[in-house]
Structure 1
Amino acid sequence: MTSADTPYDKGSEVRGIFEKIAGYYDRMNFVMTLGRHAQWCREVAARVAPAEGGQLVDLATGTGVIALEMARRYPDATVTGVDFSAEMLRRAKSKPGADAVCWRQADAMSLPFEDESFDGITQGYLLRNVADLDGVLREQFRVLKPGGRIAILETCPPSGLMKPVMRWGIRFVVPLLGQIVARDRKSYTYLESSTLAFASPEHVAGVLRGIGFRHVKWRKKFFGTNVILWATKPR
């Protein structure tokens, strides 16, 4: 709890959580998605679909699953993995194939890159963890080249007939798994609450269009609790 005269710094809180959970992040993603997480990361890498070669960046790269998949899928491209967590990056750098990626510690809200630096941008579970959704997507628009594509993997609040069941599962099962698998219920209580409070794909798509992205599409996954969105910056 912060006092009225103490600004709340969501970035610092989130950074602390991800520093803490880095050691079991991959394991928990596997368990919480019943093994589907790696498949979704492969789809995100495929959706960015750059021209031969080029510059690609994976934001909120975490342990580098999407960045490493892009390096494998697009061997002629230069792939950069960016995260604000030093411990996440340390884990990513220890994985097989990590030498094929340029790893960079940076904040997605203020990227240390020139305008129109990248042919493609990917990200996994970044948007729900930032205080300014519009701002972080505008920053991506800035560093993306005209004609380039972004591909986003994100959680989304359940909807439809399964909504009550899935909300119950997210609210109670996710923290319980955090306790059993990672012995860290508190961190996964935050991840549960950030999922339920996050915007719908329709809202995110509207923000993307408002910024200037075109051809915005999405596909829900896992009973509507995860989503992949993709969009293009006009030439």
Structure 2
Amino acid sequence: MNNVWNKFIYKVGSPLYDYFFNSGMFLAARKRVFQDIAFNKKQKILFVGVGTGADLELIDYSGLDITAVDYSSDMLRKARAKFRNSTITFLEMDAQKLAFKDESFDYVVASLILSVVPDENACFKEMVRVLHRNGKIIIFDKFIPDNRKLSFLKKMLRPIISVFGTDIGRSFEKMIYHTSEKIRVEEDIPIMLNGMYRKIMIGKA
């Protein structure tokens, strides 16, 4: 997994992305993630790895100060088309090197991004860096359960699945360990596929 390969994967996959990841159980999971989140117009909100804008379709974005970034120009093109009449700012940007000042956002939303970027630790550090000291990070992604090892089958499948631009063997707890800033996990609940996919809410300690 690297940036060049990911660009190719999402160029090929962008026409089909919503069919697979914005419908069925993924749509139901996304709805659960955002059902209790109340954004307001005084907050600055960042969507990291916004993709085709699947998450944006689930919130009342009218009047909100939203910046949405993605590394894939093809995915962003679809997102911009969906929200052409909105005030959302769409930017092509590497989530591992966010071009924003420290503590720029009240909310950082990261759906299905930490399992696809080449360096998940760098991406997570950047999300924490740009988060306001009283802000929240909302994560929806797949991680291996804490204190568990991958099964033999998943170990065998992991390099094959990685070719398609996603990693099934990443640990959220290890990401926390590699972060120098103190954070607190305020919510960590299973969302889909027996807890493989989780909703995690984080604040700065």
Q: Same fold (TM over 0.5)?
A: yes
Contact 1:50 1:148 in 2 (8 A): no
Aligned counterparts of 1:117 and 1:159: Cα–Cα separation in 2? 30
Where 2:115 maps in the other structure, the secondary structure is helix
Aligned counterparts of 2:187 and 2:7: Cα–Cα separation in 1? 29
Q: Higher mean Cα deviation, 108-117 or 42-51? A: 42-51
CA spacing shift, 1:121–1:48, aligned 2, 3 Å: farther
Normalising by structure 2, what TM-score?
Answer: 0.80
How many angstroms does 1:130 deviate by? Answer: 2.3
Percent identical among aligned pairs is 22
Cα deviations by residue, 1:73-114 (Å, 9 ceiling, x for unpaired): x53421111101111011112226762422111111111222
How many angstroms does 1:47 deviate by? Answer: 6.0
Equivalent pairs, count: 201
Q: Which has the higher strand share?
A: 2
Say whether residues 1:55 and 2:25 are aligned partners: no
Q: Higher mean Cα deviation, 107-116 or 91-100? A: 91-100
Which structure 2 residue ranges, 5 or more long, are not aligned? none
**1:141-152 superposed matches below 5 A:** 141-152=128-139
CA spacing shift, 1:95–1:135, aligned 2, 3 Å: same
Say whether residues 1:218 and 2:188 are aligned partners: yes
Cα deviations by residue, 1:22-56 (Å, 9 ceiling, x for unpaired): 0001112257xxx1212322343456654553110
Say whether residues 1:130 and 2:103 are aligned partners: no
How many angstroms does 1:167 deviate by? Answer: 4.7
Aligned counterparts of 2:56 and 2:116: Cα–Cα separation in 1? 19
Contact 2:41 2:65 in 1 (8 A): no
CA spacing shift, 1:97–1:53, aligned 2, 3 Å: farther
Say whether residues 1:26 and 2:18 are aligned partners: yes
Aligned to 1:231, which of 193, 202, 205? 202
Aligned counterparts of 2:121 and 2:175: Cα–Cα separation in 1? 9
Cα deviations by residue, 1:56-81 (Å, 9 ceiling, x for unpaired): 011110000113334x1x53421111
Residue 169 (structure 2) aligns with: 197
Aligned counterparts of 2:203 and 2:145: Cα–Cα separation in 1? 26
Contact 2:146 2:173 in 1 (8 A): no
Contact 2:124 2:175 in 1 (8 A): no
Say whether residues 1:13 and 2:2 are aligned partners: no
Report runs of 4+ in structure 1 exceeding 4 Å deviation. Answer: 46-52, 205-208
How many angstroms does 1:126 deviate by? Answer: 1.0
Residue 104 (structure 2) aligns with: 117
**1:33-48 superposed matches below 5 A:** 35-46=24-35
What amino acid is aligned across from residue 182 of structure 2 in structure 1? G
Aligned counterparts of 2:173 and 2:32: Cα–Cα separation in 1? 20
Residue 174 (structure 1) aligns with: none
Contact 1:48 1:122 in 2 (8 A): no
Contact 1:52 1:77 in 2 (8 A): yes
RMSD of equivalent CA atoms: 3.3
Q: Which has the higher helix share?
A: 1
Aligned counterparts of 2:100 and 2:36: Cα–Cα separation in 1? 22
How many angstroms does 1:156 deviate by? Answer: 2.4
Larger radius of gyration: 1
Contact 1:92 1:98 in 2 (8 A): no
Which structure 1 residue ranges, 5 or more long, are not aligned? 1-8, 172-185
Normalising by structure 1, what TM-score?
Answer: 0.71
